[in-house]
Structure 1
């Protein structure tokens, strides 16, 4: 299979790297992948960030958002509490704090990011970047092996959550990217590999934040 330089691979299909619209417009144009994410952005009150600011966004797919809400409901049900039926029952600040982990001011394409080797972080540690909410995250490009030769295979972006800043290379929670360098008019999108990612990087983080902030009533 071949493609021209203008074409862009999107999983098993071909997709244009450039998109004539904002990041939010792009996400809305892909409801199968991102309609729950769009609702989360709206619930966070962050539409303007995705419409007007220049950002790099590591986009978690629908199943990441779905799993987070499902696990929250499982916890609420287990403790005899009313469950969530609408995203707006989860406080905006909870959505905003979680989503901000995936947003970085400015544009960072794959070519702009240093190498990471998750098995050899001392040699190739990636680099720390401040997220939109101010938390330090690690971003790197993983160089896969090919034909038994190290680092000559395809390159894959990895976004990593740092649990312990006193040991920033220990226990990283890695979120590999499925599709990188999608370029709307106000930045770049890197779509996360949804099958292995938990929204907010740890299910308990999101559950604890949502419950601590208080769950609203469905009719509010």
Structure 2
């Protein structure tokens, strides 16, 4: 456990420098959202953020899905948990590596973060600001079901700029209907060739989707 403990300490130091807002932004390696490669290749290129994410996908035997080689799913949407989220999951479950997880466990976790088509941020509807996102009267946002069977409500909110309402930056949020939890988002609309990655932030804990 010493190796895992040291890694955890390092990650704790890293995330302490980030504010705990609902949508933090971190460096994904390239400023452009477009990447001339598959989702799997994109994740493999950035070991800083996605090393354990890649191992989780490989352990789940879902590499073809993320490489765009599954004939049934040419494009997907991935709400991507970063390596730190997976490391914390291993720590909480007294494991040192992804290889200690069962294939079925890995597959279930991964598919709970995947939609079977490409959804960019602007595909999701605005929230009705008159109601909380979990209010039964809430008629905004877009409800989707992941390939793992859990239900999410994705929505956008407008903001003010210079005192003028609704002309500032738009922010994307994720609410898990299944778990009744908000899911912290880091960077939306990372676009490899076979879909889109919406990166979750370092505060995300596996199981909240």
Normalising by structure 2, we get a TM-score of: 0.74
Check if 1:190 corresponds to 2:198.
Answer: yes
Partner of 1:179: 187
**Residue in structure 2 matching 1:120, options 118, 126, 132:** 132
Partner of 1:206: none
Partner of 1:6: none
Other structure's SS at 1:138 match: strand
Check if 1:58 corresponds to 2:74.
Answer: no
Check if 1:26 corresponds to 2:42.
Answer: yes
Structure 1, unaligned runs of 5 or more? 1-9, 74-83, 165-171, 203-220
Other structure's SS at 1:57 match: strand
Structure 2, unaligned runs of 5 or more? 1-24
Matches within 5 A, 1:1-220: 11=26, 15-52=31-68, 53=73, 54-73=75-94, 84-116=95-127, 120-121=132-133, 122-123=137-138, 125-147=140-162, 150-163=165-178, 172-194=180-202, 196-201=203-208
Shift of residue 148, structure 1, vs aligned partner: 5.3
- Which shows bigger deviation, 87-96 or 32-41? 87-96
Aligned-CA RMSD value: 2.3
Normalising by structure 1, we get a TM-score of: 0.71
Shift of residue 128, structure 1, vs aligned partner: 1.1
Contact 2:77 2:118 in 1 (8 A): yes
Deviation per CA, 1:94-127, whole angstroms, max 9, x where unpaired? 1111111210011111111111368633456412
The number of equivalent residue pairs is: 175
